Amino acid sequence: MISLPNTPRQALIGESFVNAASGETLTTLNPATGETLTAVAACGAADVDAAVAAARSVFEAGTWSRLAPAERKRVLLRYADLLEEHADEIIALDCLEAGKPISDTRDGDVPEAISTFRWCAELIDKLYDRVAPTAPDILGLIVREPIGVVAAVLPWNFPALMFAWKVAPALASGSSIVVKPAEQTSLSALLMGQLALEAGVPAGVLNVLPGYGESAGAALGRHPGIDVVSFTGSTEVGRLFLQYAAQSNLKRVVLECGGKSPQLVLADAPELDVMVDDILAAGFWNMGENCSSGSRLIVHRSRHEELVERLVSSLADWKVGDPLDDATRIGPMIDANHFAKVMGFIEAGTKEGAQLRTGGGRALEGSGGYFVAPTIFDGVDNNMTIAREEIFGPVLSTIVFDDEADGIRLANETNYGLAASVWTQNVDSAIRVSRAIRAGTVSVNCFSEGDVTTPFGGYKQSGFGGRDNGVEALDQYTELKTIWIQTR
Ligand code: NAD
C-alpha cells in the first residue's frame, strides 16, 4: 500500500521552506478518489518577489552562474543520484496527485526526469563557443552566457518530468530558476527542490513556489526581474504570457502548448500487429492528457475497417483503475472540471454525428474518481469539434482519406503542430510525408516524442520561442554575446 510521503508542503525560497507570505494554502486532491490529499502553500506576488530576489542575488554572486561547467556538472550528477535514491517517493507523489498509472511514472516519467538531469549535466562541459570569420586584426568571439533568472510554469500532466525538462537545462546553463508547479501537482517539485539543496545546488538557484495560475503564475509572467519564462500548458494561458511580457519587461517567452496531433496511416502501412500498440499508446497513454497525444487517426480507406476493429478489441485490454495498481493503464482525469470538459467533448462528438465505437461514458463511478472510459469515435469529419479542439482525454477520432495528398491536407488542417506519426512501409512515402507535415516531431512507424537528445516543441499554435530537450533547450536559458577585439 502506497501512502502519501511526508515531503515538503511549503514554498522553497532561497535556503528555506516557508509558508506563503499571506499564510494561504491550497488543497490537493487524489483524482482517483476525489479525496483531499494535503494542503500546500499558496504563493502570491509577495512570494514571487522574494524568490526572484533570492534567485537574482545568487546569480549576481556567481556561486553557480560563474562556476566552471565541470563543477556544475559534478553537482548536477550528484543531484541526479539523489533523485534516484528518492525515486519511489517522487513516483508515489505523481501517482497520487496526478492519477498517473504507476507503471508509467515508474518506468517512464521518473527515470526520464533523472536522465534529463544526467544528460544536461554531461553536456555542459562539452559545448564550445564560436570564433567569427573576421579580418585577421580582429578576434570576434560569439559566446553564450547564462540568461539570469528563469521562471518555469508547469502543467499537471507530467509533474516530475516537466520539472526536469525546464530545470535541468536552466541549471546546467548557469541560470537561477523559480518554478511554479501546477496547482493540482505541487509535491514532486517541492521534494525535487529539497533534494537540489541537499546535492549542493547553492540556495536561491532553485526556488519552488506552489500556487494558482492567476496569482503566482501571473506575478511571474509580469515580474520585471525575470529574464525568461518557460511555460508548458494550454495555448490559452500561453497567450497570456506573451501579454505579460509585452506589458512588463519584454522577457523572453518560450511556450509548449496544446496539440491535435495526426496519426497518418497510409495504404501501405505495416501489418496490424506492428501498429496497434503504438496507435493506442498515441491516443491513450497518460489518459490522453498529453499535449502530443495522437488524437486524430487519419487512415486510408483500404485499411480503415480492419484497423478500427482491432483497436477497439485491443483497447479492451487497457485496464481502467486505481493508478497504484500495476495493471492499470488508464487512471482518472486530473479533476472534476477537466472530467466535465472531456465528457462535454464526447457529447459534442455524438451530437455532431460521429459514430461511437467504444467507450463514451464515465467509468468506475463508485470510486469517487474522475474516470472516463477510453473512447474511439469513427466517421469523424475533420471539421467536427472533436477533430479540432484539444480534448486532453482518452478520446481518439478516426477520419478516413482516399489519397495521400488528401491525408496530408487533413493532417495539416489544424491550428496545432506539435507531433505526428506516419505509418508506411515505403521509404519514399515516409520521407515525403514526414517532410510535408507541419509539426515539431514526426515519428515514422511508431509513436514517439523523441527523447532528451532531440528538441521538442511545436509549429503553429503548439509552441513559441524555443524548444525543450536536445542541445537546443539550453538556448532558452542563455544569451548570445559578441565580443569584438581589435588587435594593433
Ligand atoms: P493551464 O494552461 O491552465 O495551466 C498550466 C500552468 O499555467 C499551471 O501552472 C497554471 O497554474 C498556470 N496558469 C493558469 N492560468 C494562469 C494565468 N492566468 N496566468 C499565469 N499562469 C497561469 O492548463 P490546465 O488548466 O492545467 O489545463 C487546461 C488545458 O491545458 C488542458 O485541458 C489541456 O488542453 C492543456 N494542457 C496542455 C498541456 C501541455 O503539456 N501542452 C499540459 C496541461 C494542460
| Domain segments of the chain as ranges | 11-257+463-484, 262-451
Mutate to test the pocket of ligand 1, among 215, 234, 236 (most ligand atoms within 8 A of CB): 234
Residue type, 10: Q
Catalytic residue check, 291: yes
- Taking the centre of ligand 1 as the mean of its atom positions, its distance from the CA of residue 71, in whole angstroms, is 35
Stretches where the chain sits below pLDDT 70 are none
Classify domain 262-451 at the CATH topology level.
Aldehyde Dehydrogenase; Chain A, domain 2 (3.40.309)
- Equal CATH topology for 11-257+463-484 and 262-451: no
Find the 155 Cα to ligand 1 centroid distance in Å: 6
Dihedrals φ, ψ of 210, to 5°?
-70, 155
CATH code given to domain 11-257+463-484 = 3.40.605.10
The whole-number pLDDT of residue 1 equals 73
- Which pLDDT does position 2 carry in this prediction? 87
pTM of the model: 0.98
Ligand 1 pocket, residues with Cβ under 6 angstroms: 153-157, 180, 182-183, 212-214, 217-218, 221, 232-234, 237, 240, 256-258, 291, 338, 390, 392
Q: Give the sheet arrangement for strand 419-423, strand by strand.
A: 355-358, 375-378, 395-401, 296-300, 262-265, 419-423, 441-444
Q: Which of 237, 255, 287, 370 to mutate to test the pocket of ligand 1 (most atoms within 8 A of CB)?
A: 237
- 89, 256, 289, 390: the catalytic one is 256
Long-range contacts made by residues 380-386, C-beta under 8 angstroms, separation at least 24?
A: 380/296, 380/349, 380/354, 381/352, 381/353, 381/354, 382/296, 382/410, 382/413, 384/348, 384/349, 384/352, 384/353, 384/354, 385/345, 385/348, 385/349, 385/352, 386/345, 386/346, 386/348, 386/349, 386/352, 386/354
Would you call 95 a catalytic residue per the annotation? no
Which of 97, 291, 390, 404 is an active site residue?
Answer: 291
Q: What's the CA-to-centroid distance between 213 and ligand 1, angstroms?
A: 8
